[in-house]
């Protein structure tokens, strides 16, 4: 935060000569976003989610839907993923699409939030978008909105990167929150979301769109819960809670003293409990093809989460998930 405030004055960065370094568009956007996150204003969000890839997206989708005091959920987009729960990136996207319907119906059987299919593969060239309904709708929603739209990406980021590459005008009206990569002090950046979609991550980091990164290992990894904890707070409360508990239980074959990071909830919690996050404005790194960060002081700034605290987010999450009466 302190960095961003000094950034607004400009001179501390030794601006002589560099158009990127001095560009007030980037600097003002960082400060605007920090102010916006800490305000009571309801934020417009598109959630781009690989909902079926493990067990955390499901919590995040429900949490976003159950937080209308801070979030207006404009659309949900299915992101591709490829792991033991899918036969290909496209299959992962379709399974995520179905899982989004499942969760939204568990939260609200009359849910009318639009749900869009995403890319059936990940990006293979930084300049070539992967065509998808999600990429087109992301751009359409952003350009038709009278206010800033936050594109919250909690999976591989090809849908978002493709929207930016195909419709570059959206960088002036949107901001991207991405849960991906590892902390900068890690030897490499390759978490699941980045490792499965390196070129799209490069495209987003290089695009100039206002960006906030929640790193997985080393930062988000603090967001732990356990089976006894979720059973204690959520068991028997409603069908959604029972589904989430079952999903989480089934994720491990060795449950004794096991803990689980519910990663993606933090990308929603950022809007609801912003004071639980330590945010730093700094030049955004390059992401190299071997999944490391490379630094250049002249790069446009972004917001990096260097620490988060779990308790207030879990308290709010458990209260909201258990508030449903069916």
- Interacting residues toward Ca ion by CB under 5 A: 50, 57, 154-155, 264
Q: Which is nearer to Ca ion, 39 or 98 (CB)?
A: 98
Q: How far is the CB of 313 from Ca ion (least distance, A)?
A: 16
Q: Which is nearer to Ca ion, 50 or 197 (CB)?
A: 50
What's the longest Cα–Cα distance across the chain?
63
Q: Which is nearer to Ca ion, 30 or 62 (CB)?
A: 62
| Whole-number Å distance between alpha carbons of 321 and 156 | 26
Q: Which is nearer to Ca ion, 21 or 176 (CB)?
A: 176
Contacts of 310 (CB under 8 A, 6+ apart): 222, 223, 224, 276
Q: How far is the CB of 192 from Ca ion (least distance, A)?
A: 8
| Whole-number Å distance between alpha carbons of 303 and 233 | 33
Q: How far is the CB of 147 from Ca ion (least distance, A)?
A: 26
Q: Which is nearer to Ca ion, 201 or 281 (CB)?
A: 201
Q: How far is the CB of 60 from Ca ion (least distance, A)?
A: 7
Q: How far is the CB of 261 from Ca ion (least distance, A)?
A: 11
Q: How far is the CB of 301 from Ca ion (least distance, A)?
A: 26
> Exposed, middle or buried: residue 9 (CB in 10 Å: 0-12, 13-18, 19+)?
exposed
Q: How far is the CB of 155 from Ca ion (least distance, A)?
A: 4
Q: How far is the CB of 263 from Ca ion (least distance, A)?
A: 7
97: number of CA atoms within 13 Å, CB side?
17
Q: Is beta strand 71-78 parallel, antiparallel or unpaired with respect to 115-116?
A: parallel
The H-assigned helical ranges of the chain are: 2-9, 19-22, 24-37, 56-65, 89-107, 133-144, 158-166, 192-195, 198-207, 227-234, 239-249, 265-272, 311-321
Q: Which is nearer to Ca ion, 57 or 191 (CB)?
A: 57
| Whole-number Å distance between alpha carbons of 49 and 93 | 9
**83 within 8 A of 92, measured Cβ to Cβ:** yes
Q: Which is nearer to Ca ion, 171 or 201 (CB)?
A: 201
| Whole-number Å distance between alpha carbons of 107 and 102 | 9
| Whole-number Å distance between alpha carbons of 177 and 200 | 14
Q: Which is nearer to Ca ion, 99 or 316 (CB)?
A: 99
């Amino acid at each position: 935060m302190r960095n961003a405030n000094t950034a607004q004055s400009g001179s501390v960065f030794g601006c002589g000569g560099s158009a990127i370094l001095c560009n007030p568009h980037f600097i003002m956007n960082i400060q605007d976003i920090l102010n916006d996150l800490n305000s009571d204003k309801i934020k417009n969000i598109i959630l781009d989610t690989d909902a079926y890839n493990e067990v955390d997206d499901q919590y995040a989708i429900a949490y976003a839907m159950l937080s209308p005091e801070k979030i207006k959920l404009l659309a949900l987009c299915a992101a591709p993923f490829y792991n033991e729960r899918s036969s290909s990136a496209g299959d992962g996207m379709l399974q995520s699409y179905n899982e989004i319907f499942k969760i939204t119906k568990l939260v609200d059987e009359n849910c009318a939030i639009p749900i869009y299919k995403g890319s059936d593969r990940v990006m293979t060239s930084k300049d070539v978008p992967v065509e998808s309904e999600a990429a087109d709708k992301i751009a359409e929603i952003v350009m038709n909105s009278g206010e800033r739209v936050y594109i919250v990406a909690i999976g591989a980021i090809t849908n978002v990167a493709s929207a930016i590459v195909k419709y570059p005008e959206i960088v002036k009206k949107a901001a991207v929150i991405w849960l991906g990569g590892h902390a900068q002090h890690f030897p490499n950046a390759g978490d699941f979301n980045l490792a499965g979609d390196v070129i799209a991550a490069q495209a987003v980091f290089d695009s100039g769109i206002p960006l906030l990164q929640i790193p997985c290992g080393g930062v988000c990894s603090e967001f732990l819960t356990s089976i006894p904890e979720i059973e204690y707070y959520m068991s028997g409360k409603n069908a959604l809670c029972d589904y989430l508990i079952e999903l989480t239980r089934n994720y491990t074959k060795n449950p004794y003293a096991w803990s689980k990071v519910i990663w993606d909830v933090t990308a929603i919690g950022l809007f609801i409990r912003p004071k639980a996050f330590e945010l730093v404005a700094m030049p955004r790194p390059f992401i190299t093809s071997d999944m490391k960060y490379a630094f250049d002081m002249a790069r446009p700034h972004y917001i990096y989460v260097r620490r988060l605290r779990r308790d207030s987010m879990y308290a709010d999450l458990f209260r909201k998930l258990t508030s449903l009466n069916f």
